[in-house]
Amino acid sequence: MPLTKPQLSIITALIAGAATVAAAYVTSSAGFVFFPNRKLERQVNDLKSRLENRSAIAGDFEWQWTGQNWLGSVTFQNLANGHINARVDMRTIKYSPSNRAIQDAFLFRSDSDGSATISGPTIHINLPVEVSPLYPKAHHASSSHMVLDADLQPVDAFAGRVRYSGDRTYSGDMILVRYRSDVRRW
């Protein structure tokens, strides 16, 4: 007995529906997202947060050592293999009244690539540096090479331009960091 056209449509719809449900179940259990898959969602979120943290450290960061008028930069570069290179260039800053200019002199800088690793919110930096003749004199050291090793945590900070008004108006930079350094006693 041959099937009628409406019966054939119903059977075809049932087979298509069953195939869709079966395909969704198979792809969902294999890790493809057709149905909510909490395990895959956790893995994607974990990967996103690691990539966001990794990319947040790339670029040029200013290093201020204001107690001795030092100003420098630490530059991070993300490599394709997942490693992070780090380089430093620190200078001493002095105002010269004779020519009314700010002068800088090399203090220490990277002579080879250092490294940075991220573990949670902590950044560990290892920087081999070449030291200028000024540094050993100021710090009673004799080495022309050092290794800087640091563990850094994120802190709240605000930065921007500031105007100093009195007889004349000057402008400069201001950075407020919610961090208490060891040298501050007040």
21 and 100 belong to one structural domain = no
Q: State which residues form the domain around 80.
A: 58-153
Most confident segment among 7-11, 31-35, 40-44, 118-122: 118-122
134 and 67 belong to one structural domain = yes
80 and 100 belong to one structural domain = yes
Q: What is the pLDDT of residue 89?
A: 93
66 and 131 belong to one structural domain = yes
124 belongs to a structural domain: yes
Question: pLDDT digit string (tens) for 110-126?
Answer: 989 999 998 888 899 99
Number of domains the chain is built from: 2
164 belongs to a structural domain: no
pTM over 0.75: no
128 belongs to a structural domain: yes
Reported confidence tier of residue 15, pLDDT bands at 50, 70, 90 = confident
62 and 148 belong to one structural domain = yes
Contact 96, 102 (CB under 8 A): yes
170 belongs to a structural domain: no
Kind and range of the H or E element at 149?
strand 145-152
41 and 74 belong to one structural domain = no
Kindly tell me the sign of the dihedral angle through the C-alpha atoms of 36, 41, 44, 48. Answer: positive
Q: Greatest CA span in the chain, whole angstroms?
A: 110
Contact 121, 103 (CB under 8 A): no
70 and 34 belong to one structural domain = no
Q: How many CB atoms lie within 10 A of CB 123?
A: 20
Task: Supply the DSSP string of 34-103, one letter for each residue.
Answer: SS--HHHHHHHHHHHHHHHHHHHT-EEEEEEEGGGTEEEEEEEEE-TTS-EEEEEEEEEEEEETTTTEEE
